[in-house]
Every structure is written in structure tokens, then in C-alpha cells.
Chain A
Amino acid sequence: MNTEPKETRAKKFGMVIDLDKCTGCGSCMVACSSENNVPVRKDESDKLLSATWIRVYRITNGKEFPDTEICYFPRPCMHCGGKNDDGHSPCVSVCPATATDYDHSTGIVSQIYTRCFGCRYCMAACPYHARYFNWWDPIWPAKIEESLSPDVSPRMRGVVEKCSFCFHRYQKAKDKAYIEERDVEEMEYQTACTQACPSGAITFGDLDNPDHAVYTLKQDKRAFRLLERLHTNPKVYYLSARSWVKRAGDNYVSSEEPTKGPGAYKLEGHGGH
């Protein structure tokens, strides 16, 4: 635990997603897209070409009826800190343009669209498929263009985009805090997906702050992180009481799977990219 005074101490924003509460409704995806001006295409059926900063995957335990179980898996950017949170995230370390960096004061991995030149190394490096490439300039239907958020700059053709943990909301919350000469409160900075989730499956806050809900939740015995064995040190934790879900989180290929037999799972994403 960090003992520096609250105001100056570095934050470590993160998310805890309770998979046992997630119904797979997709509200988070919709809220995220409208909050962050994520471009829409006329034909969104080809998931290789469409962008969704948070995507809900569906996994099953691979068993025959009536033992079939399904789990919905929302996947935002994991904002990996790298080993010991040194900022050595997979995407940050490969970017030749410094278009993405690790903010040690918030733990957020940024993406600067005007700096990105679209080499897509970061997309190849990201083990979570959290990054998306803009193959076209966005074309907004006339009415939607009027409802775009001025707090998030729209992307142009040829650059990569990804979840920012709604960082603009933190910027705005900080502005208010400056005026009132105090620190940002937990509930003042919440991501769009967190607030949109009807079952309250997503919790967001400072993982290092004992007063925040995520601090306790991440220590839950149901907690795990995606592909933890890669040591990417993600800041998104998942909760599930189901052992097959936890195992799926490490996504072993069948030949290297540590435990076989009952509980073997099958990954079955919605397309993915």
C-alpha cells in the first residue's frame, strides 16, 4: 500500500468485472461506442473491420447438453503495466512513434491518434486484441454527427485506437477538483461501461486506494486476470466462482493445458478479430 499523501500519490486505475453477474447484454459496448465516438460502418457484420473498444466474448465449457455452461467475457483494454508496473506494456514497448505511452501517475495506457502512423505493431503485440485499426475515415450519419462527444477526438483513417478508460472523464473530474481544491472522488471518475452495466458487473476505481471498491474486489478469491502467465500485469480483474471460467482466462492450447479431463473448456468468441 502506498503511504504518500492522497493528493500527490500516483493512482492506478483499474477495473473489476464480475463474470458471474454479466448477462452478455452488450450495454457496455453501446455505451462505450457512443461515449468515445467509435466509428460505425454501414455493414458491421464483418468483425475484422469494425471497432469496439470493449467487446463481449462468449465462452462455453465445451460440454454437451444439459451440462453446457456459458460465460460472457467483456474485454476492454487491460492497461497492462508490465512487470512491477514499470510501464513495459506489450504495445508501448513496440510502438516506433511513441504514439502510446504508460502514464505512471494513473496507470493508463494512452493512444495518441495524431501521432500514430498506423504500422499496427501494437495490434500484433497486444495479446488481448484490444486495439483496432481505422481502415477508413469515419462517416457519420448526419444526426449522429451532431451528437459526437467534443471531449474525445475522432480518429482518422490509418490510425489505431483503443479503450482509454474514458480518460477524458478523469480530465473533467480533475478540472472540477482543481476549482474546489480537492482530490477527485471515486464516483467522479467512472467509465461509461461501468455506469451502463445494468447488472452492476463492472467496478472501476483506483486499485491502490483502500477506500475504493476495486481495492477489496481485486483481492477476492474469485479474482483472476486474463493471460496472467504472460506477465503483462493487466489492470482489469475478473471475478468468477466457476473453475472452468478461471482456467479459460489463461487460454492454454490443448497440448499445454495443465489440467485435462473434466472442466476442459472451449473458447468460442463472437468472431473476434
Chain B
Amino acid sequence: MSLTGEKQTGREQTGSSGGPEEKGASGVVALFFIVGLAASLAIGWIVFPKLLYSKSEQPFDFSHVTHADAVGDCESCHFFREDGSYAGVPTLEQCIECHEEVQGESEAERVFVEEYVAEGREVPWKSYSRQPDCVFFSHAAHVKGAQMECAECHGDIGESESLKPYEENKLTGYSRDIWGSNISGMKENSWDRMKMEDCGACHKETMGSKGACFQCHK
């Protein structure tokens, strides 16, 4: 008890020794601190992410819905090759099967046929889900082996009417979809992020361990 009493006395002494000037000074310090904190948070959470990612549009717009209606499923265009590798984004060769001539009246269709099909030029699509060079990702293991749905990693892109802008991390060159759109790294859906810890968490849950390094690295 006596200890507490001494402390209180001490505090009173400090308080009583300061005049109104010092009170004003501490108010200014507090104000600066709050303004500084708010500014830092704003820079860290809003300005920095904007600076970190560059935004660019795809060469022309594309509707997954229209195509899914026409061809039926994902695997018609995003298919496996005979050697087990995954074709990923279709090349001109597959698109030409239907798009030799302009179909419909959309601007994107005109651009595609005139600028790419007619000139035999591959479309420089920007891949949202490209992993770094050190990663070996096997679509065969996940889609064929583990029977996973495309949406589990790719979300609802298959139901999109148009393509979202491509955002690239200026430092790493990776797509924003790898880190996820939430800068704090929080995720709600399984497809919100594609970082190593996301792969590891799912592997641990479904297979009992994250697996050895070489399972996913090369």
C-alpha cells in the first residue's frame, strides 16, 4: 500500500511542477503524433499499394461467359496436352478454329480478328496467375490427381463478362493475384491469394503435410 501511495505522490509532483505552457506543448506533441500516425497509415495502406502496382488493360476485352456458353466447359480451351503439361491460356491456333472470320459486332472481336488473326500474331495476354520462375505448379496433379475445381484457385473468372485490368507488382514483376488484392494479406476465399503459404496450408489440410520443397519447386 505504501508503495502505491508513493507513486501517486510522485505523479502529483510531476503534474504540479508543469505550468500551462507545458500543457500546451504536450497538446501540440499529441496532435503531431496523431497527424503523423494518420499520415503514415494512409501512406502505408493507400498510397504505397497504388505506387507498388502498375495497372494495364488486356490487349482487348474477352467474355468468359459467352465462351463458356458456346463451348461448354473450361477444358475445351484450357486443356491438357498429351504429355500431361497444361496448355494454360489458349494460343491463336485454338482461337482460329472459331474466329477465322469476324463474329458478332463487338469492338473486341473486330480488334482480335483484324489485328491478330489476320496477321497471324499471338495475343500478348497478361496472365493473372503466373507463378514465379522457381515454382513448378502441376495442373495435372491438382485437377486430375486431386480432382479440384478450377474455381478453387481461380475464383469466378469463368463467370466474368469482361477482363479486369492486369496489375503488376513493380518490384517483383508478379501479378497482383499472387499477393491478393487485399494489401494486408487477409483472405476470405480460397482463390484470394496464391502465395506459398496458401499452397502449404491447403497441402497440410488435405495431405497431412506441406510436402517436400521439390514437390512445388524447380
Q: Tell me if A167 is interfacial: C-beta within 8 Å of chain B.
A: yes
Per-position 1/0 for A88-122, Cβ under 8 A of B: 00000000000011111110101011110000000
Contact B213 A101 (CB under 8 A): yes
Taking the closest CB of chain A, its distance from the CB of B213, in whole angstroms, is 4
Chain B binding surface, main DSSP class: loop
- State in angstroms the CA–CA spacing of A101 and B145 once bound together: 24
> How many residues of B are counted as interface, with CB atoms below 8 angstroms from the partner's CB atoms?
21
Contacts of B138 in A (CB 8 A): 171, 174-175, 178
Give which listed residue, B132, B133, B140, B215, contacts A175 with CB less than 8 A.
Answer: B140
- State in angstroms the CA–CA spacing of A151 and B136 once bound together: 8
Contacts of A164 in B (CB 8 A): 214
Contacts of A101 in B (CB 8 A): 212-213
Given A101-B212, A103-B212, A181:B144 Cβ within 8 A: yes
Given A101-B212, A103-B213, A110-B213, A153:B84 Cβ within 8 A: no
Contact A102 B218 (CB under 8 A): no
Contacts of B40 in A (CB 8 A): none
Q: Tell me if A242 is interfacial: C-beta within 8 Å of chain B.
A: no
Contact A175 B213 (CB under 8 A): no
Q: Tell me if A124 is interfacial: C-beta within 8 Å of chain B.
A: no
Contact A175 B84 (CB under 8 A): yes
Contact B212 A172 (CB under 8 A): no
Q: Tell me if B183 is interfacial: C-beta within 8 Å of chain A.
A: no
Contact B144 A178 (CB under 8 A): yes
Closest Cβ neighbor of B86 among chain A residues: A175
Q: Tell me if B141 is interfacial: C-beta within 8 Å of chain A.
A: yes
Q: Tell me if B134 is interfacial: C-beta within 8 Å of chain A.
A: yes
Contacts of A6 in B (CB 8 A): none
- State in angstroms the CA–CA spacing of A239 and B178 once bound together: 48
Q: CB within 8 Å of B: which residues of A?
A: 100-106, 108, 110, 112-115, 151-154, 164, 167-168, 171-172, 174-181
Q: CB within 8 Å of A: which residues of B?
A: 80, 82-85, 132-134, 136, 138, 140-141, 144-145, 211-215, 217-218
Contacts A105-B212, A172-B84, A176-B140 supplied; 16 other A-B pairs, CB < 8 Å: A100-B213, A102-B212, A103-B212, A104-B212, A151-B136, A151-B218, A164-B214, A168-B136, A172-B83, A174-B138, A175-B83, A175-B84, A175-B141, A177-B84, A178-B141, A179-B140
